[in-house]
Chains A and B, each alone.
Chain A
């Protein structure tokens, strides 16, 4: 893993890789993240930089890899997944978050988005299924409850590395 990290740094900073931070643009060139529609959110969630520029140190990089590996528990994975899906960082998944999430999933470009009627119906169905206290948003425990019952999450939420 250290090798991968140091490859991302520009050449002159390789020696001090332990303490250097890699800018976001370089992180996004990793093959696993390149095709991922949630790449921006992943960088934002795992980055501990104070300046808010979403750069990642080696510790952040390790954190990201360990959460995505097969040996992470599903609690940790669902916790981080919740933070990744929460686009406005307010601690709950409301309608706007869900709409952005679905648009990310169906792809960029105008013709790949669902129509607004379909989007309404879909979000209605999702809230029906997962919103237990019926407040119109999904908080962390509701999200973890729903995700623990879905068979696909454990299989697809991991990077084979």
Chain B
């Protein structure tokens, strides 16, 4: 310090001023950075959770925050491009009018659609029932597809093509979700790659660089100690297990492989049982709710139960399935890390496939064309005059039921268990003990909800705002459960690996959501009685029609891009680029190995 002071005296005034100003600038920048962390949503909450419970659980809450933001942006998309023009024009603001083009070449039967908007005197509980099942007064609001029975909106002198906007907004939100998730997962993937690429250094890394010097809280320090101890012990155990596996005899191998095949067959049997029951329940629920609507016996309160039957069965299957899987996997004798991965894969599969089966059973009802039921219109028009609204209602019911379950389970299960454990010192109760926060189950829950939101937004454009509010409330509920009923995990999980895994599963959910949407948009004929695609055969036809209105030059360019003369060379070039990168990666790996040999 003395030498620095002596130096400062010798410098000229200009340099002194520069030095002091750069120091104060650095201070100001670090202050601003400190303040900006307050602006990020929930930054302080997540930080405190990280300090008390570790980075694994913190990654769950960051993931939840990411989903809230994603849903909010999807909602702004759909609202501003689809709902807002209609609201503007229906209220006549900005000199706007709506243009209804009369339906051409369509049989009159197809256009009959009379949703009862609960006009007149009804019992109050009908409103509640409608709120939960999406029928009645909700069916005619902008929540569902049926409201958007508009062909164009004239704002002053501009013509706003609503059907095109609806379809493009759908593609836009799917593309946005895809790109955002891929971008986030790439960062995690690179970290994972670096981590896995150096297995020969993992022990040194853990021991020399294991302690996080930023920890100031003694509780967090205890957590870190425990996590380090657990990590070192698991690694050592895995090494011993690998040695044991390598020393297995032929007879043991045969026994274990046949046991694994047998257990996989059991798992497949359970899955097909779930799928079949979901299919039957959906068919049953659709038949019974439709019959009662037509015979006008809507005062039956059991009707609500019937309508929620598919949601209940799906939730039950999602709950029982994972328990059975984690019970069965113990017999398969894998290494602990692989056990966890395989159980997670099976749970992911059952949750996402359940949604797929539900969609499939809905379609089979809608396109049920035996006995000439869909002759004039291409779909079962008597039972489903506006089938998109019906699908939207199913998605809405799924989402509401999921939300109710997430709120009810802690209220009726976790809190009483905690009260019992703390106040009753009976041995049997203490055996259950305080529960831990099971990250994977919770993550799969919210991914399931997000997949429903993605599929349902096409049929119900305001669904994302319900999802945003739902996840917002879930954040606080889970935080309260965590702080009051859970003890810190005895098996801490590393955050970087889990982040990447959550995003991969979310991506799988998104890709799965593409399939039902693709089939609904391109394959099933759109309803002729409601919705913006009345005058088209399928919803997809808006795009070819719009392209045909472009100038001829543009049309020719677009057609040539879609033809074989362009697609085949393009595909070949992409293959060549891919092979080049793979060869480059392999060469790099070989260089790294050679260097390693040289060092040791």
Name A's B-contacting residues (CB within 8 A).
31-32, 34-38, 58-59, 62, 68, 81, 85, 98, 101-102, 105-107, 112, 114, 118, 121-122, 125-126, 129-130, 132, 143, 145-147, 149-153, 156-160
Q: Cβ of B203 and Cβ of A151 under 8 Å apart?
A: no
A32–B211 Cα gap in the complex (Å)?
Answer: 13
Taking the closest CB of chain B, its distance from the CB of A40, in whole angstroms, is: 14
Interface string of B206-244 (1 = CB under 8 A from A): 011111111111101110011011001100100100000
Taking the closest CB of chain B, its distance from the CB of A41, in whole angstroms, is: 12
Q: Cβ of A132 and Cβ of B600 under 8 Å apart?
A: yes
Does B588 lie at the interface of the complex (its beta carbon under 8 Å from any beta carbon of A)? Answer: no
Q: Cβ of B232 and Cβ of A102 under 8 Å apart?
A: yes
Q: Cβ of B213 and Cβ of A106 under 8 Å apart?
A: no
Does B568 lie at the interface of the complex (its beta carbon under 8 Å from any beta carbon of A)? Answer: no
List 9 A-B pairs, minimum CB-CB distance, nearest first: A107-B225, A35-B221, A153-B209, A150-B205, A106-B229, A152-B209, A31-B216, A156-B212, A125-B203
26 interchain pairs (CB within 8 A)? A31-B216, A35-B216, A37-B225, A62-B1, A98-B207, A102-B232, A105-B210, A105-B228, A105-B229, A107-B225, A107-B229, A114-B229, A118-B236, A122-B207, A129-B200, A130-B204, A146-B204, A150-B205, A150-B208, A150-B209, A151-B191, A152-B205, A153-B209, A156-B211, A157-B213, A158-B213
Name B's A-contacting residues (CB within 8 A).
1, 191, 194-195, 198, 200-201, 203-205, 207-218, 220-222, 225-226, 228-229, 232-233, 236, 239, 599-600
Q: Cβ of A112 and Cβ of B214 under 8 Å apart?
A: no
Which residues from chain B contact A102 at a C-beta distance below 8 Å?
Answer: 207, 232
Q: Cβ of A156 and Cβ of B214 under 8 Å apart?
A: yes
Which residues from chain A contact B191 at a C-beta distance below 8 Å?
Answer: 151
A113–B373 Cα gap in the complex (Å)?
Answer: 74
| Nearest-neighbor residue (CB-CB) of A159 within chain B | B213
Taking the closest CB of chain B, its distance from the CB of A98, in whole angstroms, is: 8
Q: Cβ of A160 and Cβ of B225 under 8 Å apart?
A: no
Q: Cβ of B203 and Cβ of A146 under 8 Å apart?
A: no
Q: Name the residue among A132, A150, A156 with the largest chain B CB count within 10 angstroms.
A: A150
Taking the closest CB of chain B, its distance from the CB of A32, in whole angstroms, is: 6
Known: A32-B216, A35-B221, A121-B239. A129 touches B201 (CB 8 A): yes
Q: A146-B204, A159-B213 are in contact. List 20 more A-B contacts (CB 8 A).
A: A34-B216, A35-B216, A35-B217, A37-B211, A107-B222, A107-B228, A112-B225, A114-B229, A118-B233, A118-B236, A129-B200, A132-B600, A147-B208, A147-B209, A152-B205, A153-B205, A156-B209, A156-B212, A156-B213, A156-B214
Taking the closest CB of chain B, its distance from the CB of A1, in whole angstroms, is: 11
Q: Cβ of B1 and Cβ of A150 under 8 Å apart?
A: no
Which residues from chain A contact B226 at a C-beta distance below 8 Å?
Answer: 107, 112
Q: Cβ of A150 and Cβ of B201 under 8 Å apart?
A: yes
Which residues from chain A contact B232 at a C-beta distance below 8 Å?
Answer: 102, 106, 114, 118, 122
